[in-house]
């Protein structure tokens, strides 16, 4: 598309040649002619003057002029423009074909316009909504409900009785509805508490590869609308993740914890069970949350997690501990000399 067409589509203003065209997105440091690039993070501004992309999305307050044969598109929010552009360029065709190598239970209901890949299994009582794409080697258990316009990538496993809303994307090898980690200790051994609940995933959720969401012991583990979970995340039984919360890779939430709405949780964060995390909490990577977070819209860092700026002040002292210890030993020696 031309720069003018792109600007009209994403609500930007063209500076430079409006007729120049491009068709592929590339990072600003490696882009070349025919590419569309973007300056979404000012950390990369040093690459702007030498970038060879034909069209570059830049912040509205950019003062630099494009090179000859190049166009800038000025945007108030570059990453929002990139998101809109990615939608336009992701025009994949979907086949409405039920593979002859798939297996469908007699009482399962499949909408007419879904796709079901090779060696996938849909058990009895399952229901799959319109335009949903199920790739190869996916398992859909008994009485599972899957909404419209969902995508299940190869190897996804959904256990019995789970409920998946509309427009949910689940990436390869994620497991939904496995047993929660529940045992009762008696007579010197751990005895299994059977997990009789399910998992409910609301609309517009995306779940990364190899993420596992356990079914509840008796009620439901709930992932609310708009949640985005990265790869390799563990969500334990009876957990509730509030709407539009995002969580980065290798994080874990223990049983019966409740995470609020619009939270941002970094990678390798651990949240203990039976606590509540307030709405709009921002938890930095590798932090450990060991008790309730009651104040909304606060930043947290450390293990155990503490207010962000308090942690930074504490760390500034902590990294000087060897020097402080040496100075303390020297003071002790000096005091001993004075005493004697």
The more confidently predicted of residues 131 and 340 is: 131
Burial 291-318 (b: 16+ CB within 10 A, else e): eebeeeeeebbbeebebbeebeeeeeee
pLDDT at position 139 over 90 = yes
Q: What is the pTM of this model?
A: 0.87
What average pLDDT does the chain have?
94
Q: Say what the pLDDT of residue 86 is.
A: 87
Q: Say what the pLDDT of residue 87 is.
A: 85
Q: Distance between CA atoms of 69 and 235, rounded to whole angstroms? A: 51
pLDDT at position 340 over 90 = no
Q: Could you give the dihedral angle defined by the CA atoms of residues 274, 285, 298 and 169, in that order, rounded to the nearest 10 degrees?
A: -70
pLDDT tens by residue, 268-296: 999 999 999 999 999 999 999 999 999 99
Residue 144 buriedness (CB in 10 A; 0-12 / 13-18 / 19+): buried
Catalytic positions:
237
- 110, 129 contact by CB (below 8 A): no
The backbone region for 274, taken as left when phi is positive above 0, alpha when psi lies in -120 to 50, beta otherwise, is: left
pLDDT at position 91 over 80 = no
Output the six-digit token pair for 156: 């996804």
Strands 109-110 and 183-186, bridge-based pairing: unpaired
Output the six-digit token pair for 54: 């034909």
Q: Say what the pLDDT of residue 339 is.
A: 82
Domain positions in the chain: 3-89, 103-312
Q: How confident is the model at residue 48 (pLDDT cuts 50, 70, 90)?
A: very high
Q: What is the CATH number of domain 3-89?
A: 3.40.1390.10
Q: Say what the pLDDT of residue 289 is.
A: 97
- pLDDT over 70 percentage in the chain: 99
Q: Which CATH architecture has domain 103-312?
A: 3 Solenoid (2.160)
């Amino acid at each position: 598309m031309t720069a003018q067409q792109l600007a009209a589509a994403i609500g930007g203003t063209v500076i430079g040649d409006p007729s120049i065209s491009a068709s592929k997105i590339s990072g600003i440091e490696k882009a070349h002619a025919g590419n569309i690039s973007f300056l979404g993070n000012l950390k990369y501004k040093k690459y702007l003057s030498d970038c060879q992309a034909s069209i570059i999305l830049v912040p509205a307050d950019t003062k630099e002029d494009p090179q000859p044969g190049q166009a800038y598109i000025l945007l108030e929010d570059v990453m929002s423009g990139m998101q809109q552009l990615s939608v336009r360029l992701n025009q994949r065709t979907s086949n409405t074909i039920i593979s002859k190598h798939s297996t469908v239970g007699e009482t399962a209901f499949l909408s007419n316009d879904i796709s079901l890949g090779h060696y996938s299994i849909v058990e009895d009582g399952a229901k799959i909504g319109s335009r949903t794409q199920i790739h190869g080697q996916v398992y859909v258990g008994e009485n599972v409900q899957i909404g419209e316009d969902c995508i299940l990538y190869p190897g996804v496993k959904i256990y019995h009785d789970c409920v998946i809303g509309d427009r949910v994307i689940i990436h390869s090898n994620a497991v939904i509805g496995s047993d929660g980690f529940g045992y009762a200790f008696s007579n010197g051994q751990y005895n299994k508490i059977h997990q009789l609940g399910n998992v409910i995933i609301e609309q517009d959720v995306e779940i990364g590869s190899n993420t596992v969401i356990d079914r509840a012991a008796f009620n439901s583990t709930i992932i609310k609308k708009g949640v985005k979970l990265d790869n390799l995340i563990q969500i334990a039984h009876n957990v509730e993740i509030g709407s539009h919360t995002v969580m980065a890779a290798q994080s874990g939430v223990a049983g019966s914890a409740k995470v609020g709405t619009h939270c941002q949780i970094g990678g390798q964060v651990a949240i203990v069970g039976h606590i509540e995390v307030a709405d709009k909490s921002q938890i930095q990577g590798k932090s450990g949350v060991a008790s309730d977070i009651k104040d909304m819209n606060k930043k947290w860092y450390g293990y155990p997690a503490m207010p962000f700026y308090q942690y930074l002040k504490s760390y500034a002292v902590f990294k000087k501990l060897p020097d402080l210890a040496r100075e303390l030993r020297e003071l002790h020696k000096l005091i001993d000399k004075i005493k004697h």
